[in-house]
């Protein structure tokens, strides 16, 4: 299973439109959003992909938490409080926004930790666990924005720049 990983979209609608196109071209099967959607209309753009979206709330989502949850429910998406543990394709995944809030004791056999908040790329192994943040995606500098694609079978990561 190939998943698209994105976070900190901060309602930069032109960037989100580009992200949707990149994910479509990459043939992702699910989206993980690591928080800071900021405004509900961002979800409608991601809904164009017609793949499941699971996300967590970020610190900049506090003002629109209820509207984000309502829009996610309307679109069949899930937005949870971080950290959120899930199992997909035989992998144990932990999704959170702020890496400083990573539990000191990870859930058993955590293969992958996905986070945002820092706007900085991270692809780092700690023991058997891979920590990944695709980096900045809401910036104005063309070619410096990125999202990630993770192959859950191999845990190989690809960054897509725009």
DSSP states of 22-79: HHHHHT-SEEEE-S---STHHHHHHHTT-S-EEEE--GGGGGGHHHHHHHHHHHT-EE
Q: Is 113 helix (H, G, I), strand (E, B) or coil?
A: strand
Look at residues 1, 19, 12 and name the one whose alpha carbon lies nearest to residue 148.
19
Domain regions of the chain by residue span: 2-161
User: Which CATH fold would you assign to the domain 2-161?
Assistant: Purple Acid Phosphatase; chain A, domain 2 (3.60.21)
> pLDDT tens for residues 51-98?
999 999 999 999 999 999 999 999 999 999 999 999 999 999 999 999
> pLDDT tens for residues 7-63?
999 999 999 999 999 999 999 999 999 999 999 999 999 999 999 999 999 999 999
pLDDT-derived band at 125, boundaries 50, 70, 90: very high
């Amino acid at each position: 299973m190939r998943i698209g990983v994105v976070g900190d979209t901060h309602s930069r609608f032109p960037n989100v439109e580009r992200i949707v196109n990149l994910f479509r071209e990459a043939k992702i099967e699910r989206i993980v959003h690591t928080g800071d959607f900021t405004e509900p209309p961002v979800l409608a753009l991601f809904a164009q992909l017609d793949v499941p979206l699971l996300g967590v709330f970020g610190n900049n989502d506090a003002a629109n938490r209820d509207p984000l949850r309502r829009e996610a429910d309307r679109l069949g998406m899930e937005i949870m409080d971080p950290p959120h543990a899930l199992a997909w394709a035989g992998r144990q995944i932990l999704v959170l926004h702020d890496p400083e809030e990573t539990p000191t004791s990870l859930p058993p056999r955590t293969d992958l930790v996905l986070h945002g908040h820092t706007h900085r790329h991270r692809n780092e192994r700690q023991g058997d666990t891979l920590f990944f943040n695709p980096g900045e995606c809401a910036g104005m500098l063309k070619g410096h924005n990125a999202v990630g694609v993770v192959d859950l079978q191999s845990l190989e990561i690809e960054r897509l720049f725009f």
